[in-house]
Amino acid sequence: MPKCQNCGGFVTDAYARVFTPRGVDNPRVCPQCTDKIRDGAEVRQARSPRNNS
């Protein structure tokens, strides 16, 4: 099962397939990461806390 490179949390195969480039198994950031977000092709520090409700 794929793991987030930032927090180490598990993500689904479908999430990894959609949010990672071909040939990369583990996403750089996942929905559970409150400190980082995807910004286009980059990952950046979150400007404000995210609510995971």
Place of tokens 């400007």: 47
| Domain segments of the chain as ranges | 1-53
If the chain, 53 residues long, is cut into consecutive pieces of 10 residues, what is the mean pLDDT of each piece? 91 91 88 77 72 57
pLDDT at res. 35? 77
Say which residues have a Cβ less than 8 Å from residue 24's Cβ, sequence separation at least 6. Answer: none
DSSP-based three-state secondary structure for 38: strand
pLDDT of residue 33: 82
36 DSSP 8-state letter: E
| Res 50: pLDDT | 63
Q: What is the dihedral sign for C-alpha 8, 10, 41, 35?
A: negative
pTM given for the model: 0.67
Q: d(Cα 21, Cα 40) in Å, to the nearest integer?
A: 12
- CA–CA distance, 35 with 22 (Å, rounded to integer): 25
